[in-house]
């Protein structure tokens, strides 16, 4: 079966089969990690559709945005925005301006379509770029930075996080969210992910770490941390 068709069957089946069948269905799709890393072509468009409509993705994204506690004047940067759910939620939450970078052309197209009105209104700027080569338009400073199920794909993640820290305004904060998607992932996988993220954030110079958990299956974890300055105004 061609790859795109296999992914379409996989994604559609996720909505049709009960949870027990989900593990089997996803195991059929050996391409899932590659597409999550860099969605491309027809298979990438199916991945975008799946990321958009999977209920746990939508819940996780809304939760992550709520944790950031955005304020009306906040400039927020999301790295690895995928189909742009969180970008739209950040706009609805009242962020002053939402910036985003993703290295996938498919995802930039999807997210730009989803957020077309906000882009036209000058409230959203989305660019195609890898996290290690952000353009000057994303120099910041930002009040908040968000990455949801994205950090695990970055080369040299501690270095990337240190660069992002340099783009935060004094008192700025970051939220790095993970919900392990490997077949068989459990609450223990989520706890390990939170610990790994915390270590990377500390190596990158972030302080005041706080971990939150959303009870999905497996749980989503968010590690929030303060950037430069005297700790984030909004991490308490």
Ligand X SMILES: C[S@@+](CC[C@H](N)C(=O)[O-])C[C@H]1O[C@@H](n2cnc3c(N)ncnc32)[C@H](O)[C@@H]1O
Q: Does 198 engage in binding with ligand X (CB under 6 A)?
A: no
Question: Looking at 35-43, 185-193, 211-219, 220-228, which segment touches ligand X (CB under 6 A)?
Answer: 35-43
- State the binding string over 160-179 for ligand X (x if CB under 6 A, else -): --------------------
Exposed, middle or buried by CB within 10 Å (0-12, 13-18, 19+), for 188? exposed
Which one of 34, 96, 130, 171 is in contact with ligand X (CB under 6 A)?
130
DSSP string covering 76-110: EEEES-TTSHHHHHHHHTT-SEEEEEES-HHHHHH
Torsion of CA 193, 195, 199, 205, to 10 degrees: 90
| H or E segment and range at residue 220 | strand 220-226
Residue number of the CB closest to ligand X reads 82
**Of 25 and 233, CB closest to ligand X:** 25
Q: Is the peptide bond before 72 cis (omega within 30 degrees of 0)?
A: no
At closest approach, how far in Å is the CB of 151 from ligand X? 9
End-to-end CA distance of the chain: 51
Which one of 102, 167, 198, 228 is in contact with ligand X (CB under 6 A)?
102
Q: Does 153 engage in binding with ligand X (CB under 6 A)?
A: yes
Q: Does 61 engage in binding with ligand X (CB under 6 A)?
A: yes
Contact indicator for 166, 205 with CB cutoff of 8 Å? no
**Of 118 and 147, CB closest to ligand X:** 147
Residues that bind ligand X (CB under 6 A): 36-39, 51, 57, 61, 79-82, 85, 101-104, 107, 130-131, 148-150, 153-154
């Amino acid at each position: 079966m061609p790859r795109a068709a296999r992914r379409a069957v996989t994604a559609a089946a996720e909505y049709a089969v009960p949870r027990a069948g989900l593990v089997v269905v996803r195991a059929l799709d050996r391409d899932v990690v590659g597409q999550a890393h860099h969605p491309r072509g027809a298979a990438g468009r199916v991945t975008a559709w799946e990321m958009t409509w999977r209920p746990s993705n939508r819940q996780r994204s809304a939760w992550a945005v709520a944790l950031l506690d955005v304020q009306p004047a906040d400039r927020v940067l999301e790295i690895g925005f995928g189909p742009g759910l969180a970008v739209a939620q950040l706009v609805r939450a009242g962020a002053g301006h939402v910036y985003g970078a993703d290295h996938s052309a498919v995802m930039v197209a999807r997210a730009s379509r989803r957020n077309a009105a906000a882009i036209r209104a000058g409230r959203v700027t989305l660019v195609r770029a890898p996290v290690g080569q952000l353009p000057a338009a994303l120099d910041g400073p930002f009040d908040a930075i968000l990455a949801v199920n994205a950090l695990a794909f970055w080369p040299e993640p501690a270095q990337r996080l240190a660069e992002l820290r340099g783009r935060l305004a004094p008192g700025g904060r970051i939220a790095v969210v993970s919900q392990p998607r490997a077949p068989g992932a459990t609450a223990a996988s989520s706890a390990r992910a939170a610990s790994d993220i915390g270590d990377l954030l500390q190596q990158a110079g972030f302080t005041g770490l706080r971990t939150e958990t959303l009870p999905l299956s497996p749980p989503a974890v968010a590690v929030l941390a303060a950037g430069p300055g005297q700790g984030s105004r909004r991490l308490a």
